Chains A and B, each alone.
Chain A
């Protein structure tokens, strides 16, 4: 026979189980509803075996972003950026900005080319730029990812001032838009890797940014963004807080007779050199650079676990640097 005390405990347990069960049911119902609303909002995907018709979509690379550069939208975006985005990134990513003074060497516009590890990169980079530059900056965003639905396209263009960029093939209209905007004086943020790193190691830089720089005569500013992958990596939906660094290099130009491919390799090496600067001093990094011993962004290691083992992420700390008073 259970004592009255045990009985009470059992009752509480069964009540707790009932509540848990009810919560589970409610969560399931909410999930189902969320799925339905997703079904309504999201354009259905085509089965792989079905050839999509050649109807010119108004989304993707064809999305018209001109509205997002109108004065009223710029004013609203400016308010959002200054009052919401900057405090948000300061709180979440605690960015330490290095080398910003290099932007005084030339007059804008610039083409900022950075490594890409997280969805936080664009926002972080845009909010760490000086005010006069960031208010006149557009970000090149993957047309197939950020502009595939109307909802996402409006968010990307409205908040990030993004323009669609075709990343899987050469597209004249998206390259032309970027070129026109740079020639009109807009700064451009572009991630030449074409997507976020899947494992922490860099990917080959594509030639788009280099081509734009050559065509427009606008310098490239290499940027290295450190540790954002630890905060929100590809495939993850969980955002954590931590310390990040944004390192700006000096503006560079294409050499005479340097084609876009070679220029892209040089840009990649510049970003690798900035990465090398973290944890070392500036001088050591330029010594490495001139002796061609700078560790590369990419890795030719095939083994998956070894790539993971040796990646920057595995060897870095995600803790914010806490300022402490010196012990007296």
Chain B
């Protein structure tokens, strides 16, 4: 079935209440007449025969490179790196793209009798994946072949014995990556490009890199000059990664990039109403919405988190590209745009967002207040090409309960960041100058990152830096229905209802502001003219 394009709806009196995410729940909300709603494009058709498509991509590479089978030889060191648990969102139903592609790569490697093969989860500074997560993303067959033999590794950005320092780029950025990867005859990197920000040189230059290297592009100045992350040509984050990637290529690190794109079929059938346009909700949809909402209201918090964490997305593979990194990424980005771009005419005074329960950094975990800020201001605010959806000095209204809760195993440094840093200042530059190094080099956080399932000590700083552009750009940020204490600590205004938030916003944008609501799910990128 042909998917209908995304569009901008002008709200009128006949527009029904619209669905708005609110963390681990959702609500319907009547939008003011004359406001706008950005509706994403419907999920595009999946590849009919994904396995054949993967094989064909490996044998018909893009850019200046040979087919994968010709790059493989028996005595070689082959490293297969893959994206970690932060992609896709929510985790996809089995088989995951990574399993599908790695199986195809391993079949070719086996045909060529390649014996030295190692799999590495490209964690960067993310938490280590659990065995269950690894099994889900790679499949039992791959996991059982590599994990028991110590050949399934998780990148450790703090292991001095397993990092190789290669030098500095022309802009003085340190380049240090995983030793096994650096010494391999070939790195095959398998990527899931959920949004246009993912992939390209960022895969190796960030995913297999160390804090020493990553700090050059994960900082306030870079983030403030990335407009946006979804538009590589205007993203300083990408420019830095591209410099590092090219440096690696010049140093002889050979990367065969495989990138996959997904459609936006994000939720299983029982939640199908989430992706429907509200005026097309059938009686069944309305009943599902009401019963699910009511059931969630009555469900205890922990159980609710478990229920949402168990959701697996029915994402389907829409394209696969393989070959030289930049050539591959150009095509991939176009394919992502094909699914996600929505044309938006002009900016508005207020951007309204309903934030869901999940972000890249709380898969199987808890969405803490810092991640709420990052999801809203780092990700959703940046889902644009051209200009931000909201005007300079405008207001972002986000709907999320923002619970004052942290996962003690996954986010230990977040707890201290929230208590010790945000209580002093919310200014990203001041935070970077005065606090980053202390957290980044803290031996306890380093220990937890390396041996437990904790994010790196510096990770909450990066989350706050992701917000830097929005914090600098916006006049006010309001969270609807959030924990008052948590919202206050973040430096945002708190409102009980959307209408209250509009009243608060009037102080900044006047009494008759233009309003745009970004409807999710699924995800979209607004190309604002």
Contact = CB atoms under 8 A, between A and B. Distances in A.
Interface of A: 36, 39-40, 43-50, 150
Given A40-B286, A46-B14, 5 more contacts: A39-B17, A39-B28, A44-B286, A45-B279, A150-B283
A52 to B, nearest CB: 9
B279 A39 contact: no
Q: Is the interface of B mostly helix, strand, loop or mixed?
A: mixed
A40 B287 CA distance: 6
B281 interface: yes
B278 A49 contact: no
A265 to B, nearest CB: 36
A61 B280 CA distance: 20
18 contacts: A39-B16, A39-B286, A40-B286, A40-B287, A43-B283, A44-B17, A44-B279, A44-B280, A44-B286, A45-B14, A45-B15, A46-B14, A47-B10, A47-B12, A47-B14, A47-B15, A47-B279, A50-B9
Contact of A40 (B12, B278, B290): B290
A49 B28 CA distance: 20
Nearest to A49: B10
A36 B290 contact: yes
Interface of B: 9-17, 28, 278-281, 283, 286-287, 290
Contact of B16 (A36, A44, A48, A150): A44
Contacts of A40: 283, 286-287, 290
Given A39-B17, A39-B28, A48 B287 contact: no
B516 to A, nearest CB: 15
Query: Top 10 closest A-B pairs, CB basis?
Result: A44-B16, A47-B15, A45-B14, A46-B279, A48-B12, A44-B279, A40-B286, A40-B290, A48-B14, A47-B14
A237 to B, nearest CB: 19
A243 B437 CA distance: 87
Nearest to A35: B17
Contacts of A46: 14, 279
A39 B14 CA distance: 13
B286 A50 contact: no
B281 A47 contact: no
A47 B278 CA distance: 10
A55 to B, nearest CB: 10
B287 A44 contact: no
A47 B9 contact: yes
A50 B290 CA distance: 25
A96 to B, nearest CB: 42
B278 A44 contact: yes
Contacts of A39: 16-17, 28, 286, 290
Contacts of B283: 40, 43, 150
B36 to A, nearest CB: 11
Contacts of A49: 9-10, 12
B16 A45 contact: yes
Residue in A44, A46, A48 with the greatest tally of chain B CB atoms within 10 Å:
A44
A39 B28 CA distance: 10
Contacts of B9: 47, 49-50
Nearest to A52: B279
Contacts of B290: 36, 39-40
Contacts of A43: 283
B292 to A, nearest CB: 12
A32 to B, nearest CB: 11
A39 B289 CA distance: 10
Nearest to B30: A35
